[in-house]
Amino acid sequence: MIRLLLADDHPVVRAGLRALFSAEADMDVAAEAGSAEDAVALAAAGGVDVVLMDLQFTGALQGAEATRAVRSRPGAPRVLVLTNYDTDADILGAIEAGASGYLLKDAPPAELIAAVRAAAAGESALAPAVASRLDTRARVPETRLSLREAEVLTLVAAGRSNRQIGQDLFLSEATVKSHLAHIFAKLGVGSRTSAVAAARAAGTIRNS
C-alpha cells in the first residue's frame, strides 16, 4: 500500500486528488496538509511514502523549500511536485530540492497515478513537457540560465535592487552584478527590463 500525503492549500484540489487516489487498490491518502509547514510536520511524523507537493502556498514557506525540508530527514518519503507552473526556475528549484518528480495539474489522471507508483518505487517521474524542457537545457546549456541566475532575475522582476537581492540570496553585491552580467550575455540583452521580458517569454521565470 502506497501511503500519500496531499499538500495543497486549495481544499477542492485536495478533495479531487483524494477521490482519484482512493479509487486505487494500492493507494491510501494517509494525510492532507493545507500549508507547506503542515506538510513538513506531517511528513516528519512518519507513515507516509509519497508527498504530493504544490509549489505555491499562501504562507511564508513555499513548496520547494518544504520539499528540501522533507527530504533532509533520514528515511524521508519521496516528494512529487504537482503544480501549475512549468518555468525553468520552478522545475530546477524543485529537482535540486530533492523532488523525485514534477507534474502539472492538468496531467491526465492515469499519468498522475503512474507517477505516484514510480516515485514510490524510487524512480523519477517527470511530465513530458518538463522532461522536454530539461532535455533542451542539456543540449543548449550556454544559452540557458542557471538556477541561481533565474533566482536573481526573479527578484529583479519583483523590483528588488542589487543590494536587496544580495541580502535575499546571501550574496555580495558584486556577485549579484556578476550574475546579471552573465544573464545579459546569455539572453542577448543590455538592461534589466529587457532581461526580465526575455526570460518571461522563454518560460524561464514566472509572468507574475
Interval 10-47: pLDDT, tens: 999 999 999 999 999 999 999 999 999 999 999 999 99
Domain presence at residue 45: yes
Domain presence at residue 132: yes
Domain presence at residue 208: no
Contact 67, 90 (CB under 8 A): no
Contact 89, 147 (CB under 8 A): yes
Q: 77 with 172, same domain?
A: no
Q: 70 with 29, same domain?
A: yes
Instruction: State residue 7 phi and psi, 5-degree precision.
Output: -115, 105
Mean residue pLDDT across the chain:
90
pLDDT for 139 beyond 70: no
Query: Of the candidates 189, 100, 197, 185, which has an alpha carbon nearest to the alpha carbon of residue 144?
Result: 185
Q: 36 with 124, same domain?
A: yes
Residue 128's pLDDT band (boundaries 50, 70, 90)? confident
Q: 66 with 152, same domain?
A: no
Q: 128 with 151, same domain?
A: no
